[in-house]
Amino acid sequence: MKVWLSYVWYPVTLVTAVWTYFHLLSLGSEPVAAAYVPVVLSGIMIVVLEWFFPARSDWRPKKSDVIADAAFLGLVQIAVARLLGLIGVLYVAAWANQHLTDMPWPRDWPLLAQILFMVLIVDLMRYWLHRAAHKYMFLWRLHEVHHSPDILYTLNVGRFHPFEKVLQFCLDTIPFLLLGVAPEVLAGYFVFYSVNGFFQHSNLELRYGWLNYIVGSAETHRWHHARDPETAYCNFGNTTIIYDLLFGTWKLPSPVDDIGIPDRTYPKGFWAQMISPFRRRNDT
């Protein structure tokens, strides 16, 4: 039963979240509310599930982990990039969708097709940003914050330095505002990206099977968090994994053992990691 369930958690939850989003839209909900309801409920469910069905018992977070990751999730992901950003962006997008109608976006496509199209475009740009963050030191200093945990569990999906979130925002939001993409499309992308990200970083026992060749799965993403930099140079995809397949960076040999970063003295606290990219270090 446990093995069977490990194949079911991801597709059932994602489909349910997307269905809930569309259902709430059909009831007249604003895109923000329609997106946040399934995302929050999915996140809570995954946290509960990983407690009862952990992939690794040694990845259970300590109190200090939860405090730091909750700060990242609340202050960086929600307050900076999601709550204020998403609400403000959706109002701008509503205006742009009415006034920038000559921009080349397939508005006549079904909503789900537009959302999936946005997922593919964003992932292509984020793929190259992600690879660059593992190649160039000035970007790695920011991205290192995300790789600093020695365990993977749902809450550390939000461990990003705010400056890196700004870079991501320039790729996954601003271009689509300029194209006049509808708020419902942006919010729908948020549902796919967020729910997939929760699973991707979770400590839930998961098996994806053939989905490992389509989505950025927990199985492939755990390899991306390997402590050895050469081992970790793979599986850069966010919501999808197709660009790793296209550009030769896909990997899934066996469960990864050690995750984190080479510098085991790297600080773990929220405020320490806010300033860590700007500290003078021996690798400069």
166 lies in some domain: no
Cα angle 164-169-175, degrees, rounded to a multiple of 5: 145
CA distance 168 to 189: 14
283 lies in some domain: no
| Tens digit of each residue's pLDDT, the chain (284 residues) | 678 999 999 999 999 999 999 999 999 999 989 999 999 999 999 999 999 999 999 999 999 899 998 888 877 776 665 555 555 566 666 666 666 666 788 989 999 999 999 999 999 999 999 999 999 999 999 999 999 999 999 999 989 998 898 888 888 887 887 788 888 999 999 999 999 999 999 999 999 999 999 999 999 999 999 999 999 999 999 999 999 999 999 999 888 889 999 999 999 899 999 999 998 666 54
23 lies in some domain: yes
164 lies in some domain: no
Report how many domains make up the chain.
Answer: 1
In this prediction the pTM is: 0.90
52 lies in some domain: yes
80 lies in some domain: no
Phi, psi of 185 (to 5 degrees): -75, -45
Q: What residues make up the domain containing 190?
A: 2-61+109-154+184-278
Q: What pLDDT sits at residue 6?
A: 94
208 lies in some domain: yes
Q: What pLDDT sits at residue 284?
A: 46
186 φ/ψ sector (left φ>0, alpha ψ -120 to 50, else beta): alpha
100 lies in some domain: no
Instruction: Kindly give the residue spans of alpha helices, DSSP state H, lying in the chain.
Output: 2-26, 31-52, 63-71, 84-99, 111-133, 137-147, 162-172, 174-178, 183-201, 218-224, 229-232, 242-247, 270-275
